[in-house]
Each structure stands twice: as C-alpha cells, then as structure tokens.
Structure 1
Amino acid sequence: MNKIYKLHMGKAKCAVDLGDGSERGEYVNQDYILYKMGRPHRAISLMYCYYPMDAGWPRRASVAHASDDVKFAWDYPYDDYFTYKGGLGGNLNDEPFTYMRDIRRHGQDVNLTLTIDCGLSDEYLIAVAKELRTFGRMFLRINHEATGNWFTHNKRYSYQEVADFFVRFHNIIKEYAPNVKTVICAADIQKLESNRLEKEDEFKQTILAADVWSVDKYLALHWGWPYDIAETGGTSHARYKNENTYALTKATFERYKELNGGVSKPMVMAEFNADGDVTGPYEQATMVRDFLDRIREDNATWFTGFTMYQFRDRGRLGLEIEDPNNNEVGIEQPIFKMYKEMIHEDYFMPEVIQGEEVKLPMTLRWGGAEDATGLAMPLHFEKNPTFCEVIFEGEENYMMELNGKWFYKSPKAKNIDLMSAFFEKPLEGETDLTLKIFAPPATGENDPSQGEDWLENYYAKVEKLPEVRIRFTPTEV
C-alpha cells in the first residue's frame, strides 16, 4: 500500500433518516438494512413510550390491555409503542438501548421518539437524560404530534401542559445530556392562507427551546389501519396534493423562524411517506419521488432532512411489507427501488472530502454521521475484479465504502468481501477507486475515559492497514 489520506465526512444537502420499528412493525437489524440499502442513513428512528406509573407497565399496551373493544390504534391506556425499559430502576441491557448500540456501531445516529408521561417528576426525567449521555449526537423527539388528540399526552393533559413539559424536559436534557438534540413536533400551519400555527400561543415556547423543528407529513395516510380497510368514500384515510404539502411545510418553517427572531434552526420531516393503502404500490413510489424531486430541484436549503417511515411495515407504509406468515421476512415494494436509487444521489449523500496525506498510526474520530474523520486508501483496478476483499488482523469496528457501496466490519469479523460493490456497478475498464474507512464506536457508545469531549466524539487509533486482496481472474481456469 502506498499513500493514505485523511477524510472528512460532513452533512448532506438533505439528510436521509429511516424509521425502523413502531406500533406497525418490528425492529430490523442494521446489517440487513445496510446490505439492502447499500449505504447507512444519517439517523435511524426508534419509537418508544414511557409511562412507568401506569398499570400494566412495562408490558406493551396492546398486550397488557388487550381488548376486543379497541377500534383505533391509540385506544389503549397508554401509547402502543414499544416500552422504554430504562429510567428509574430500569435495565440498560434491554430496549431501546440494544437497538441504539446496533445503530451507532453501523455509523448512524439515533433518533429516539419518546412519548412520555407529562406528570413524571424531574427524578424520572433526569434518569432518562443520564442514560442517553453515552450515545453521542443523538436526537430526542419528545411527545410528537403534540397538537393532535390521539396520543396519551394529549388525552391526559392540556396543550399548555404538554408544551410546558417539553420545555421542562428539554432543560433537563441540556443540563444532564448536552450531546442530545431535542426535536419539537407540534404546531404547524394548516392552511396556506394563514400565517398562524395551530396552537401557536401554547407551543411558541417549544419552538424557541428546541434544537430541531419538525413536522410529520404523509402525502396519503390510512389512519384507520388496521381496524378497517381504506375504500373509496371512507372516512379513515386521506390523500393530499404534493404541492400543498410542500408549501405548508415551507410556510411552517418560515413562521417558526419569524417567531424565533429571524433565526433558523434545522427543519425536518420526522415522519414522511405516502400510504400504499390509499395510493396503491405504484403511485406510492411516484408520489414520494415527486416530493423529493421538489426538494432537490428547489435546492431547499431551509429543509434539513426527512425520515422515511418506515423500513418494514405490517401495513403499506414500508419500503418492505412484513410477510404475514413470518415477521422476519420483508416483501419489497416498488417504493423500495425508487427510494434506494434516490438516496444514492449526490443531493442526499453526506459530503466526503479527501484531505492531506497522512501516516500511520492515525487516530480516527467519530463525531456522528454528519461529522467524522476517516482515512482513504487509493486502489487501482485493471478491470472489473473477480475477487476483492479486505483482511484484518485486529478487532476494529469499521464502516467502509467502495465504488458507492458501504460495508460494515464488526470487531469479530476478519474478512470482508467487497465484490458486491461491483454487482450493480461493474467497472468498464481500468479505474482508480478509493476505499474509505470510518470508525464508529464498537460498543455503540462513547467512552467517558477518552477526554473532555467524550460526549460528542469517539476516537479509534489505526496502527495497521488491512490487507486488500484484488484478483482479476478466477483461481483456476
């Protein structure tokens, strides 16, 4: 191996996040998603609830309070998300922490949605904040869709109380886990002719406090799922015009900015899709593609990113539909191929810049999916290879990219076959490529012993490069 170079990975023009598990589907491991998508996402969204004072806790609501009388997804005493097993007296070796570690090992940030009892004392909230400290630059979306009437926080508390709670929890997060960015998903503009947010008076304080602004926008949605079928003339579903959704989202951002004294904050769609229950599978893909084209073609610098809801769904809101015979099997929908192609376009890819030549040993820094220092190994290919693999001696934890495809190397893995980088994009002749290597934390958590900046940065020292085996003919002919 000749020269190696320093790399910096930064933000995409539009970040791409992915929902993985909710009330509508189970968590899918990151190895499978990476293999299918060919690239990591900026963040993976998890959806949990925390109602530790409720009867039945910590069992999931639909299990603890199963009833034939339930006719709506949120008709339970508390929200039917997976239950947050941490908090006072909790277990850090259970959900969501096991999944959060999986996400971060694979070079992605955590985006945790948490519906939480607004009546909990600070003691409970401080416990949660302390548990999140080791997970780096994660996002915490607190009591989302807070101007609605379906979640437990809106059934038990007034809008003013929900808004006050957000600010209280935000302040606790800033004190005990300053690495965590809070996300508000509440007030938005409902009509284009209006310049006033829904419940603006109550929620203005949350817009000023939060680190990130968000809205949930479905281009079509069947909210009656799974208790009825969306048929023409029904009242439990709707379809919206893309141009109106885009305009309303932008108008909401502008109003947030105005209320915030003219100062912008990151603006995201924390849930986004078109429901195939309403559109069918083909138009679902067409609608989503059209909306993302609008963002790109408008060069919407005010729009920071979106979360595709979700990877695998029991209904028709997934890139895959869960096989009803086996929840570990996903059935790709037309939106899968479209989405995969879209997120590999430059506008949605993180910026990776090659810097100066470096020598070993070298320390790699993982700040997060939008701020990391890696290394580049130039490779020469005579033609499309027959064999291409990297061979390691140590127990490193790496994310690697070659020819546009990303690979994960766990501490236990020694050989990583890179040939799938050429299956969809075979080389047409002699070519120079770069193997890019980044080092997210092997445990999925940052290390408090690494220095004053441990909350936001993780460091890994590279003493030796892997062996790269490239061959251009079969072993025997």
Structure 2
Amino acid sequence: MVNKISKVMLRPAKCGLDLGDGSERAEYVDQDYILQTLGRPHRNINIMYTYYPKDKEWPQRISEACKDMEIHFQWDYPYDDYFPYEGGIGEDTSGQPFEQIRDIRRHGQDVTLTLTIDCSLSDEYLRKIARDLRNFGRMRLRINHECDGDWFTHNQRFSYQEIGDFFVRFSKIIKEEAPNILTVFCAGAVMDLDAEELKVGHEEEFTEAYRQADIWSMDCYLALHYGWPFDVCEKGSDSYAVTPVETFYQRLKKSAIRFAQLNDGKVRPLVVSEFNTDGDVVGPKHQAESIKRFIARLKEGHAEEWFGGFSLYQFRDRGRLGLEIEDPNNKSVGIPQPLLKEYKEILKDDYFMPRMETKAETKLPVTMRWGGAEDAEGIALEVTLEKNPEFFEINFEENLNLMIEINGHWFYKAEGTDCIDLMPAFFDQDIKERTTLSITMFAPPASGENDPSQGEDWMENYYCTMHKLPELRIRYEAIEEV
C-alpha cells in the first residue's frame, strides 16, 4: 500500500504559535488530552514554576502553606503562587516540572519554563538548575517575567537593577552549562507611541539584560481582568484593562524597534508569552473576535519579519482566560468555551503551520533526527487511497515513540503502543476520489530527554532509527451493514 518513502524536514511556521498549560490559575493538563482536543501540537508549551528554596515555607506551594493568610491580591503571598520547582539544590528531577517537561517533549513540542526565582541565590544554585535542564533539548527559560512591574516577589524584594543583574548572571551560567537553552527576558514595552524618542520602562537598569537575552518577550492582553479572583469584573470597576488591537500591534512593533536599539541594532525574536482576550471582560461568546483581528493585523503588517509568535494563555483556566474553564466541581474536568472552536481554526491557518519540506526518496532502515518543533528530520510514507476509508489503522512491530501526521491531523504513538487508529483524520475531511496522501512521522525522544551517548550534538539533537515499515489496515466498506 505504500508507494514510496521520502525524507521530510520540519521547519518553522511564518509565525510561531505556543500555548500555556498550568499556572496560578489552573492545573497542568496532560498533552494526550490537549492533542486529542486540538488536533495538532504547538511549537512551545509554557509551564510556570517558582523557586525560593531559602524561604521557611519552601517547598510547599505558597497558597497551601499560607492557606489561612488574609490576602487581597493574587501576589500578596510571601512568594509567587506557582508550582514549586523541585530540582535545584534538592536534586530531585523525578517530580515537577520534569515530568511535565518530559510529557511535552515526547509529544513533539518544545518547552518554555517560566521560573520566578530568588535573585539572592548563589551561582551554585543556578548551576544546578542549568544542569537539571540541559537534557531537555532546545527549551526556553523565561526568568523572572514581567519584571518591569511591582507585583511579583522579585519586584517586591529586589530593585530593578538587581533583577536585571541577576538575569545577566543566570543567563551566562546557562550558556556555560546548557547552551541548548535559550533565555527569555520579559519586561516592559513602549507605552508612549507618539513620543519622538521611544522608551521602555527601566531601560537603564535592564539594558544589559536585553543584550544578554536570546529572546525578548512581553505579556500583553487585549483585555484582562487583573483583579481575578478577588472581585467580580463589572462595568466601571478599576480591576480590568482593555487595549485596542491597533494600539496593541503598534506597541509590539515599536517595542521591537526599541529593544534592538538597546542591543546596538542587533535584532532578537520578540514573542508575547501570555496573550488572550479575557472572557471576564468581553464575555465568552466574543472572546475570539479581537484575537482574530489581531492575527489579521499581524499578517497585514508582515510581522513575520520581526515578530516571533505568541502563546495563548492558557488551555484550561479557573477564570475566563482558557480554551476550557476548569469545572468548579472537579478540577480534572474542562468545560469547552466558544474560543476553543475558533482557536482550532486558527491552528489550521497556514500562517501558523510548521512547514514540511519533502526531500529525496529513501529506504529503510532510516535514522530520524529530532532537534525540536522547528527543526526535525522524519519520513513520509506515500499512500494512494481509492476513496474515503471506513477503517484506517497503522500497526507497528518496533517499539518507537512517534508523532504522526496525515490529512492535516496529528496523532501520538507512545512506546508500547502497537496500533493507532488514523480515522479521525477523515471524520471532517472526506476524500471524494482517488487521492495520494502522505503519512508523515517524526521521532521525538520517548523519555522526553536527549541521550548523552548519541554524540557531541546530544544537547541539540536526538536520533532514532526505524528498521521495519509499519503495516496499514485500510478498508473502504463496512465489515457488515446492519
């Protein structure tokens, strides 16, 4: 049934599309569920953690350690109410965030680890974190984000200069210990769009951080109820903010210009690490409208020349910043929002679709290389279908970890799984006539970690060899009609 086998390259989309998964507002949702819900993987999954190992409450999550504390704002606790980072000096990489990182990577996605961290920690602590993370390929580390503000613990305990200096120090250690990791600096933005000279907040204190970072970032929402969950968002209240789409776009563009000026004209990718329109403000039925207008503005402005993508915050949320709302009766259950249906259409937009380049025909055995969600080498099996199938299954003898794409739909095959039902790729897109399709496969690491024994480039790349072609079971009629 397979006409030929070709090598195929996975390359970046015009604009990256990332997703937040878990924060102070929600629990982590496993990647099997997200993939089944959305139909394709993201470039990056952003997870959010905190590390204050010298505090007396550590390593408890601070909202649990201080559950009787009277607070009036989400960040009133002694340290940030993210999940505790369990590695570092504690040397435990069996727990979190490492299991989540492994889950994300084995599903063909890269990781952004957002980490709020005590700026007084010595180099010993920071080197241990770098060594914790270097097995996980081309991940991103976002250190003490939104540091131009005043709400996080790092801003309450340290000066802006100390925060900037800490970022530079930590970034240099990352480069020494784990050069596969890119550091992300997330601070302010150009707020006065009409000023003759562009400025961003605390740029004197942060100039060296902008120069040291691999990626520049902003957290921006078209609408945000920032008083959640301590008040109800109502018209005229002072706990929400709205930014018109054009203002939002110009703020991004002019901030990118100013960041480059601070970096002696050298451009870095600019991303929005947290982005959405809050349903608390606009209502859940209208949440997607401004997001789609923003995307149209990106395309119109050819933003792919200076913009590196955005991360939707987030998959599941206890408020109205998610594709799903967490069921208040059962936190393991999500309630789909209207945005979910609209977002699935955004995922299919060519602007956000990773490019696949088909290369020369090949034969088995073939070695596949996983660099990351924007750089991988896999294989494509060319198959001719007579018409829309009633059954389409792929069966493997080899114990491989694979991401599989056919007809625009992605599937995950874990180690230990022999058969994958590919029929969901044809539920919404019928084939009306004889058609040739490709079954494309990539092999991210089954353990979620790269293998130091694979060669000098092991931090950047993981290799897997397929020796035997999988078998296809394709049928065009029901076994029996009832």
In which range does the TM-score fall when normalised by the shorter chain?
A: over 0.9
Q: How does 1:358-437 map to 2 (within 5 A)?
A: 358-437=362-441
Secondary structure of 1:141 counterpart: strand
Aligned residues between the structures: 477
For residue 128 of structure 2, what is the aligned residue in structure 1? 127
From 338, 343, 364, the counterpart of 1:339: 343
Secondary structure of 2:89 counterpart: coil
Whole-Å Cα distance in 2 between the matches of residues 152 and 356 of structure 1?
Answer: 53
Q: How does 1:42-441 map to 2 (within 5 A)?
A: 42-194=43-195, 195-300=198-303, 301-441=305-445
Whole-Å Cα distance in 2 between the matches of residues 370 and 360 of structure 1?
Answer: 24
From 446, 450, 454, the counterpart of 2:450: 446
Whether contact under 8 Å (1:385, 1:472) holds in the other structure is yes
1:283 Cα deviation from its structure 2 partner: 2.1
What is the CA deviation profile of residues 31-87 of structure 1, one whole-angstrom value per residue up to 9, with x for unaligned ones? 000011110000100000000000111110100112351111000000000010000
1:239 Cα deviation from its structure 2 partner: 1.2
Whether contact under 8 Å (2:140, 2:184) holds in the other structure is yes
Secondary structure of 1:304 counterpart: strand
Whether contact under 8 Å (1:187, 1:203) holds in the other structure is no
Whether contact under 8 Å (1:109, 1:137) holds in the other structure is yes
Whole-Å Cα distance in 2 between the matches of residues 38 and 369 of structure 1?
Answer: 16
1:288 Cα deviation from its structure 2 partner: 1.0
The farther-off stretch of 58-67 and 292-301 is 292-301
2:431 paired with 1:458: no
Partner amino acid, structure 2, of 1:252: S
1:91 Cα deviation from its structure 2 partner: 1.2
Whole-Å Cα distance in 2 between the matches of residues 462 and 12 of structure 1?
Answer: 27
RMSD over aligned Cα, in angstroms? 0.8
For residue 17 of structure 1, what is the aligned residue in structure 2? 18
Whether contact under 8 Å (2:106, 2:447) holds in the other structure is yes
1:5 Cα deviation from its structure 2 partner: 0.2
Whether contact under 8 Å (1:386, 1:471) holds in the other structure is yes
Q: Where does structure 1 lack aligned partners over 5 or more consecutive residues?
A: none
The farther-off stretch of 190-199 and 442-451 is 190-199
Secondary structure of 1:2 counterpart: strand
- % same residue: 57
Secondary structure of 2:78 counterpart: coil
Whether contact under 8 Å (2:3, 2:384) holds in the other structure is no
Partner amino acid, structure 2, of 1:297: E
Moved over 3 A (4+): none
1:359 Cα deviation from its structure 2 partner: 1.1
Whole-Å Cα distance in 1 between the matches of residues 433 and 362 of structure 2?
Answer: 29
Taking structure 1 as reference, are residues 58 and 68 closer, same or farther at Cα in structure 2, changes over 3 Å only?
closer
TM normalised by structure 2 equals 0.98
